[in-house]
Structure 1
Amino acid sequence: MGAGASRDLGGVGGDNATVVTSQRVRPGRDDDYRRWQEKTNQVVREFDGFEGTELYPPTPGEANEWVVVFRFSRVDQLTAWLESSARRELLDEGRPLFDGSPTQEILAGGTPARDVVTAVISHEVRPGRERDFMRWQDKVLAEQEKQSGFMGSELFKPVQGVQDRWVVVFRYDTREHLDRWLDSEARKKLLEEGRQYFSAYDVRKIASAFSGWFRFGEGADKGIPPNWKQAMSVVLALYPTVMILNLTVGHDLDELGVPGYVGLFIGNVLSVSVLTWLLMPLVNRAFAFWLVPDRANSLRVHVVGAALVALCWLVFIVVFGLTTG
């Protein structure tokens, strides 16, 4: 409960093994780090059991700490990657990019968690206090169940021969509800009680899934909208983009005989590019009163903004219905 990485991690599958690695990148080395991480991704794809990886950039206004998630089918396959000479060589190559040593939490098993905000918490439990720690975690869970937006919690015991820390994963429906719990007086009191059972913990926060499309000012920590607002805004920009591309580029590709799977890839590249560099900045400016957390501070603003977005949806549906029907 005391530490971890908060972000939608896309789920920890039932028999899967996941490692969450955090590393602070030196100032000015972000591009070098991205290239190094892409090289790492290419290497890890060759290992048995590899299922996927995600890279999460730092939250605006916080330390330049990047988080990478690697997923494998089983713990032994994940361990083979972590202990491989290929990974050691990559870490040696990337060491000049890092400010301090990377940290990692390993999750073995668990249940899927999608479209939520997740916190991954690791603890160094004092020897002989494991049962007390588990009873304390039951008290934490009982308190969390009273909180708005709480969606569940899991406790992961140490993985023998790989990791000696205990890891707790808990999920909330929005970043606002997660932050409210992390800053609550109830949690602070529980932390004070829990310090007799664990000796150390870390806290790392990560932005949410669409955060790259929601930036409000350079160098300003204005926060990121909750997931439901991000999703509504992305649909607002994505729907007309996909429709227009299908009616123009998609039609031309069909006439040229381009295979459907290639046409779909081209369409995805174009739609993501249009959203990233054109439409999402426009949506951000138009709906800043509703998206920027420190501006949307009343129920009326939340309702009005959501209603306007829904109205725009309806307008697009009617327009495309009339023009394509």
Structure 2
Amino acid sequence: MRAGRIGDYQRWQGRTNDVAREFEGFEGAEVYPPEGGDENVWVSVFRFSGIDLLTAWLDSSRRRELLAEGQDLFDGPATQEVLHGGTPAEQESGAVTAVVSHVVEPGREQGFLRWQAKALKAQEKAPGFMGSELFRPVQGVQERWVAVFRFDSREHLDDWLASDVRQGLLEEGSRYFASYDVHKVGSAFSGWFSFDGGARGDAPPNWKQAMSVLLALYPTVMVLNLTVGFELDDLGVPGYVGLFIGNVLSVSALTWLLMPLVNRVLAFWLVPARARSVRVHVAGAALVVLAYLLFVAIFGLIS
């Protein structure tokens, strides 16, 4: 974006977002100011429910008119990346995302994939690494391959981008791609993706999931029984109806309040990319067990 045109750009981007909302399949739009050394690079994200619906917006005459209208706001040609298949995930404060697009040489796709796998293994060893996703080209829409990876802080991301390990990987990978671009985006952007390429699996093992759900479920059920349950009994509500109401309340509390909280507090233990040692596994499990005992003691005294 041209220097001194921030206000004009934000107004133009606001109009663009409003127009996008009118198109079928629109799910959200976000704008991110420059990150790191990209002083004049702004990133706008549009999310649609399907690739055909996104293409209808990208190819629309209204979008072309908006791009022509905003041309004098840009200091250079705009780049566009279409990512197909990302899954929303919980955001984490301070996390920073890098979006790297590659122009892969024709016929060298398999070599590029092997190189990406090697690069991911190296990333997993870098401090602060939280996960990665690789997006393939979308035929007729997007010809570039796009890698999206996240670190827990700007410092850790910058350290990785400037590391000798990554420079060596780029030299090795240059045989597979003709060019690449890197953009850094703030933490909110990471909420669009699940980053399933993280170390050692896409999700916590079942035993950790069960323990964390029980940690949130037990106090929820006890509080509801001691409050809403008594009220429903006093009102003469049949037991099967009261049970249904209690289930609705407990599931709602778990989904939108307690489980997001538990996941954030226990992220060091639940996120596979972080829980890399036996000490972390044991410490997290011990913490959850202590919480169980505390809840049992508290509700034992209350009831």
Calculate the TM-score normalised by the size of structure 1.
0.55
Name segments (4+ residues, structure 1) moved above 6 Å. Answer: none
Deviation at 1:111, TM superposition (A): 3.0
* Residue 28, structure 1, aligned to residue 4, structure 2: yes
Cα–Cα, structure 1 residues 195 and 69, in superposed 2: closer, same or farther, change >3 Å? same
Cα–Cα, structure 1 residues 149 and 59, in superposed 2: closer, same or farther, change >3 Å? closer
Q: Report the equivalent of 1:42.
A: 18
Q: Report the equivalent of 1:202.
A: 181
* 5+ long unaligned stretches in structure 1: 1-24, 211-325
SS at match of 2:23: coil
The amino acid that maps onto 1:147 is A
Structure 1 Cα separation of the partners of residues 151 and 4 of structure 2: 33
* Residue 173, structure 1, aligned to residue 149, structure 2: no
Structure 2 Cα separation of the partners of residues 122 and 185 of structure 1: 20
Over the matched positions of the two proteins, sequence identity in percent amounts to: 66
- Deviations along 1:15-59, whole A, 9 cap, x unmatched? xxxxxxxxxx11121111111111111111100010111111123
Q: Report the equivalent of 1:88.
A: 64
Output aligned runs, 1:130-209, within 5 Å.
130-209=109-188
- Deviations along 1:122-157, whole A, 9 cap, x unmatched? 100001100000000010011111111211111111
Residue of 43, 57, 61 corresponding to 1:67: 43
Deviation at 1:208, TM superposition (A): 4.5
Whose Rg is larger?
Answer: 2
Q: Report the equivalent of 2:84.
A: 108
Structure 2 Cα separation of the partners of residues 111 and 147 of structure 1: 24
The amino acid that maps onto 1:111 is T
Cα–Cα, structure 1 residues 190 and 62, in superposed 2: closer, same or farther, change >3 Å? same
Structure 1 Cα separation of the partners of residues 188 and 56 of structure 2: 29
Structure 1 Cα separation of the partners of residues 174 and 73 of structure 2: 34
Structure 2 Cα separation of the partners of residues 181 and 111 of structure 1: 24
Higher helix share: 2
Deviation at 1:121, TM superposition (A): 1.1
Are the counterparts in 1 of residues 126 and 160 from structure 2 also a CA contact under 8 Å? yes
Cα–Cα, structure 1 residues 62 and 118, in superposed 2: closer, same or farther, change >3 Å? closer
Higher RCO (Cα < 8 Å, 6 or more apart) = 1
SS at match of 2:42: strand
Output aligned runs, 1:297-308, within 5 Å.
none
Output aligned runs, 1:227-238, within 5 Å.
none
Structure 2 Cα separation of the partners of residues 59 and 161 of structure 1: 30
Are the counterparts in 1 of residues 131 and 151 from structure 2 also a CA contact under 8 Å? yes
Structure 2 Cα separation of the partners of residues 198 and 62 of structure 1: 23
Structure 2 Cα separation of the partners of residues 160 and 105 of structure 1: 13
- The alignment covers a number of residue pairs equal to 186
Q: CA RMSD of the aligned region, Å? A: 1.6
Deviation at 1:209, TM superposition (A): 5.0
* 5+ long unaligned stretches in structure 2: 190-303
Output aligned runs, 1:45-60, within 5 Å.
45-59=21-35
Q: Report the equivalent of 1:239.
A: none
SS at match of 1:203: strand
Cα–Cα, structure 1 residues 158 and 61, in superposed 2: closer, same or farther, change >3 Å? closer
Higher strand share: 1
SS at match of 2:165: helix
The amino acid that maps onto 2:184 is K
- Deviations along 1:222-257, whole A, 9 cap, x unmatched? xxxxxxxxxxxxxxxxxxxxxxxxxxxxxxxxxxxx
Are the counterparts in 1 of residues 29 and 45 from structure 2 also a CA contact under 8 Å? yes
Deviation at 1:205, TM superposition (A): 2.6
Deviation at 1:165, TM superposition (A): 0.4
Which one is further off, 125-134 or 27-36? Answer: 27-36
